[in-house]
Amino acid sequence: MPMLAFFHKKRRTLTVRGAFLGTLFFCSLTHCASQAQKRNYNIFFLGIPVGNMSIEKKTEGSMEMYELRSHAEADFLVGRRINDVEMRTIFKNDLMISAFSRISENGKVESFASTSWDGSQYWVHTDKGKFTVNEPATYSVISFYFKEPPPGTHKIFSEQIGQFVPLEKIGSNTYRYRLPNGDLNIYTYRNGKLGEVTMKRTFGTAHIRPAN
């Protein structure tokens, strides 16, 4: 389902995980008042339930901390496939200041990305290399699960790749974006809440729907 910005070379070595845990530890010591929301989803492949996903949002003052975890298992001609996703994102004053994503297949890390804002740009470290992103992000993929994209949103930040991707509104309450590898995600809202996520992949299409 991601940690505070670093401002000089030494601090760039901080991991997203460490900063995220440090933030929570600081708040536990200072008795930060927090509010938490949680969303639970079921994952379907070819109409068959194959896993589940949970996303939690914690609000502490001006900070919003999101954590996503999912687990799915399905059988294919080439064998059983076990997919695990972990994502964490922090916003402060509506600005994304850090993000982390890790995707594993059958226990092996397939991709990861960590992103941290230093006050003027994002430092991104992925399994494919390191780079910077100069534009600040106010909406990311994990935001979909708690709020519909604001009007006029034409691109969003993908925690998975550490970059912005174009966002299309294809219906009154339906949005889609495509990753550079061709993966297509479609988000549909019903009565102001996320009603379904359609994930089109080379091996088939999965659907994510609220569990309650």
Local confidence pLDDT in tens for the 212 residues of the chain: 333 333 233 334 333 344 444 444 344 433 445 789 999 999 999 889 999 999 999 999 999 999 999 999 988 776 788 999 999 999 999 999 999 999 999 999 999 999 999 999 999 999 999 999 999 999 999 999 999 999 999 999 999 999 999 999 999 999 999 999 999 999 999 999 999 999 998 888 999 999 97
Residue 133 lies in a domain: yes
Structural domain harbouring 65: 10-210
Residue 122 lies in a domain: yes
Residue 58 lies in a domain: yes
Residue 2 lies in a domain: no
Residue with tokens 């740009």: 121
- Contact criterion met (CB below 8 Å) for 164 and 135: yes
Residue 14 lies in a domain: yes
Which DSSP symbol is given to 30?
Answer: H
Residue 96 lies in a domain: yes
Give the global pTM: 0.82
Residue 59 lies in a domain: yes
Q: For residue 211, what are its two tokens?
A: 């569990």
Residue 165 lies in a domain: yes
Tell me how many domains the chain contains.
1
